[in-house]
Structure 1
Amino acid sequence: MNPLFLKGRHFFEDLNSEPRSELNLVVVTHLLGTAPAYLEALQGFARIALILPKPRSINPQVLETIEQRFPVQLKKRAQIESVEVLAAIINDAVTEGDLILVDIGGYFAAAIGALPERLRARLRGVVEVTENGLKRYQVLSDLPVPVVSIARSPLKGPEDYLTGQSIVYSAEALMRECQQIMNGGYAVVFGYGKIGRSIAKALHAKNINTKIVEIDPVRAIEARSRGFDLISKERALERSDVIFCATGNQSLSNHDFTRIKNGAFLFSVTSSDDELDLSRAEGCFEQTPVSAHITRYQRLGQYFYLANRGNAINFIHQAEVGPYIFLVQGEVIKAINYLQREALTNAIQELPDSIRQELAQSWLSHFA
């Protein structure tokens, strides 16, 4: 076994989660290298009733391994967002006891309002991992259950930072497959959030001329203070050779694609559903595969290159962030226990600092 994975298993074992036979989990997750150790840790204190893999981050070998041990259903986001479909799926998997939903990206947010009354099990709450998912729950006027978010936890910061680094690594690798390099060109990052600022920092360290598109004035000031010039979307598309989309909220709409500079490379840090409005672009542009993960879009003399069909490019290379992924997964486990143990109000919550401190100390003892 990979020594890192073995350490991860020992780390999860030391979290001392009390087994609860009546607790069921429905888990949205990436099925990449560390998934088996993480899911085994969850199964150690609760029953995994169903796994819903994120469709665009599935390693076929990991999927085969997981399907041998756990119930898995491959569903599109639109299916899960339907309360009728979601309730039917969950009721087939969980007929009694307590239920907690583990979410990555707000998959359950659209249906959560009407979901509890349709379930056979008692829904105790939701654990949400990502910033995009948190925002989907925040816009709901009335939550029927508590939502424990780890999206803004300081323990997630290292993963967000390393995700940005892995995005730049993957972008360079994909461009080299097309006999191209970033050096000598102009790059732009749409969105100066946690991952966007990491991308910008990595590009700057490689001496790549990098500008920022940011509509939030507070983040724009932060980018400016770090030495990055701000640029409008229109000028960015016309002048940039490499474009990173890191807003999680449709950086580019359908008419923006006609403004992209000839020969530019377009990279996303999340799924195309969240980041890019490709529906009309795919109907207007002729698409030609250039390599396994790069497609050339062309119309009326204009052309650009889109990576990984508009989905997160770091998943091509397994989105590796080293042992820090175990820290995030460990906080998910702590959040599940917190939901089960405490009488929380029906609102968005975070873990107490005392729990995070304990988790961080445990991680340090295993990995530092």
Structure 2
Amino acid sequence: MGTAEPVTPVGQAAEGELRIGWAARSMPVLAGIAERFARERPLDGLRIAACLHVTAETAVLLQVLREGGAEIALAASNPLSTQDDVAAALRERGIAVHARAGADLQTYYRHIHQALDIAPHLVLDDGCDLVNVLHTERVELLGDVVGGCEETTTGIIRLRQMAAEGALRFPVVAVNDTRTKRMVDNRYGTGQSTLDGIIRATNLLLAGRVVVVAGFGFCGRGVADRARGLGARVIVTEVDPVKALEAALQGYQVEPMSRAAELGDVFITVTGNRDVIRAEHFAVMKDGAVLANAGHFDVEIDVRALRELASAVRHGVRPNTDEYVLPDGRRLLLLAEGRVVNLTAAEGHPAAVMDISFSAHALAAAWLVTEGRGLPPGVHDLPSAIDAEIARLELAAAGVTIDTLTPDQERYLRSWRLGS
């Protein structure tokens, strides 16, 4: 399907190596896994196709997989998050990288095809685009695939639908659904990095503003919590009554989007669904309202409807900020073209967060090719013992110690005969 993107300009790889080295300082768990993989070589002779954000943290993960013996080809899961200097550094290390910042949609899918040209045994995905292409356009490669891993809530939604329809042809580990990943990555990582992207793009003071968070899953909880911590008044919108109840009990104002649209100063979508903010919502928003998406795909804010409503569009009023002027003179500010704001307007999650998420990827890949080869096609949880191992390694790296059960306590928990 063609060759990898050229490395330009000269010197970019050196800049990428500096960025990768900085990230690696905050990823001690992956460093420990790399040492283990170098000894045990669990991925020896295996080919891995990955569709992930091309960032310094991803580079650290790929190096761990190489230590385990894998050959790797990488495509970007979002062209606006690609760090070209990191891509250049990875190519210098001998990893096939098919990605460049700002690639159009046609080029984006060409890169995914190029990554799949490796004829993978394992796939690592972030949003299910690679798995989708594999099942629709590259079916001749399915016979060699042992399994895969999925990083995002959006991807898991798509994979579960594939499995329900009998379309998914191999087992996929739901890395996103591990307790450590949901807690640290989805909640704390997304919460911090989303607001980081919004502040970088706008330089707004959030204290005293009304921030509308659409969706109160793990990511939405993190965004709402961080926004409240910065002094914002937070309104949550939800379609799930249980999540809406949780938001209300945590003290958030819960409203339908039709009402929240009139009240908000900043809107953040974190749902994994499309058209969460639509034309009827734009019609009642305040002048200067900010629109940001923290979901994986750029479908949560109906950008096409916004474009059709606008009488003028002023691109780049600030970096990653476009101003849509409505016929009545109101201005709505769209961040990062409606794409995932934390990776487009900022740098994504801190490396310490990705240390946990990518440790799950690395251990899941090794588990799939050793103990998980007999799994049927479908979406599978990572064994809880591996999840607990990641937490223990992270605590040890942070110098944190915890209690252990005494023999009497273990016997008590195993017995139903012992009571008060």
TM over 0.5: same fold? yes
CA shift for structure 1 position 357? 2.0
> 1:270-309, aligned counterparts within 5 Å?
270-285=295-310, 286-288=312-314, 289-300=316-327, 301-309=329-337
Q: Matches of 2:232 and 2:225 in 1, distance apart?
A: 10
> 1:74-85, aligned counterparts within 5 Å?
74=99
CA shift for structure 1 position 184? 2.8
- Paired amino acid for 1:352: P
* Cα pair 1:240 1:261 within 8 Å, conserved: yes
The reply to whether residue 28 of structure 1 matches residue 51 of structure 2 is: yes
Q: Matches of 2:336 and 2:267 in 1, distance apart?
A: 14
The reply to whether residue 11 of structure 1 matches residue 27 of structure 2 is: no
Q: Matches of 2:230 and 2:140 in 1, distance apart?
A: 53
**Which position in structure 2 is the counterpart of 1:93?**
118
**Which position in structure 2 is the counterpart of 1:266?**
291
**Which position in structure 2 is the counterpart of 1:344?**
375
* Cα pair 2:212 2:234 within 8 Å, conserved: yes
- Give the % identical residues: 21
* Structure 1 spans left out of the alignment, 5+ residues: none
**Which position in structure 2 is the counterpart of 1:198?**
222
**Which position in structure 2 is the counterpart of 1:313?**
341
244-253 vs 106-115, which moves further: 106-115
Q: Matches of 1:14 and 1:248 in 2, distance apart?
A: 36
CA shift for structure 1 position 61? 1.5
Q: Matches of 1:329 and 1:88 in 2, distance apart?
A: 23
Larger strand fraction of residues: 1
* Structure 2 spans left out of the alignment, 5+ residues: 1-20, 400-420
Q: Matches of 1:6 and 1:225 in 2, distance apart?
A: 35
Deviations 1:274-316 (A, max 9, x none): 4222123224422112111211111212211111221222223
Q: Matches of 1:102 and 1:332 in 2, distance apart?
A: 8
* Cα pair 1:134 1:151 within 8 Å, conserved: yes
CA shift for structure 1 position 80? 7.5
Shift in CA distance, 123/216, structure 1 to aligned 2, threshold 3 Å: same
Aligned to 1:67, which of 81, 84, 91?
91
70-79 vs 338-347, which moves further: 70-79
CA shift for structure 1 position 114? 5.0
- Paired amino acid for 2:194: I
* Cα pair 1:87 1:119 within 8 Å, conserved: no
CA shift for structure 1 position 254? 4.6
300-309 vs 275-284, which moves further: 275-284
CA shift for structure 1 position 8? 5.5
Shift in CA distance, 88/210, structure 1 to aligned 2, threshold 3 Å: closer
- Paired amino acid for 1:11: G
* Cα pair 2:27 2:355 within 8 Å, conserved: no
313-322 vs 291-300, which moves further: 313-322
Higher-Rg structure is: 2
**Which position in structure 1 is the counterpart of 2:210?**
186
- Paired amino acid for 1:299: L
- Paired amino acid for 1:21: D
Shift in CA distance, 110/86, structure 1 to aligned 2, threshold 3 Å: farther
- Paired amino acid for 1:73: H
Q: Matches of 1:155 and 1:139 in 2, distance apart?
A: 24
Q: Matches of 1:86 and 1:168 in 2, distance apart?
A: 30
* Cα pair 1:272 1:278 within 8 Å, conserved: no
Secondary structure of the structure 2 residue equivalent to 1:139: helix
Instruction: State TM-score, norm by structure 2.
Output: 0.78
* Cα pair 1:80 1:108 within 8 Å, conserved: no
Secondary structure of the structure 2 residue equivalent to 1:93: coil
Aligned to 1:57, which of 53, 72, 81?
81
Q: Matches of 1:35 and 1:26 in 2, distance apart?
A: 13
Shift in CA distance, 298/6, structure 1 to aligned 2, threshold 3 Å: closer
Larger helix fraction of residues: 2
**Which position in structure 2 is the counterpart of 1:209?**
233
Secondary structure of the structure 2 residue equivalent to 1:317: coil
* Cα pair 1:106 1:128 within 8 Å, conserved: yes
Secondary structure of the structure 1 residue equivalent to 2:186: helix
Aligned to 1:108, which of 130, 139, 142?
130
**Which position in structure 2 is the counterpart of 1:137?**
159
> 1:202-241, aligned counterparts within 5 Å?
202-241=226-265
Count of residue correspondences? 359
CA shift for structure 1 position 87? 9.3
21-30 vs 165-174, which moves further: 165-174
How much is the aligned-residue C-alpha RMSD, in angstroms?
2.6
**Which position in structure 1 is the counterpart of 2:62?**
39
* Cα pair 1:128 1:147 within 8 Å, conserved: yes
The reply to whether residue 328 of structure 1 matches residue 357 of structure 2 is: yes
- Paired amino acid for 1:33: A
Aligned to 2:147, which of 122, 125, 139?
125
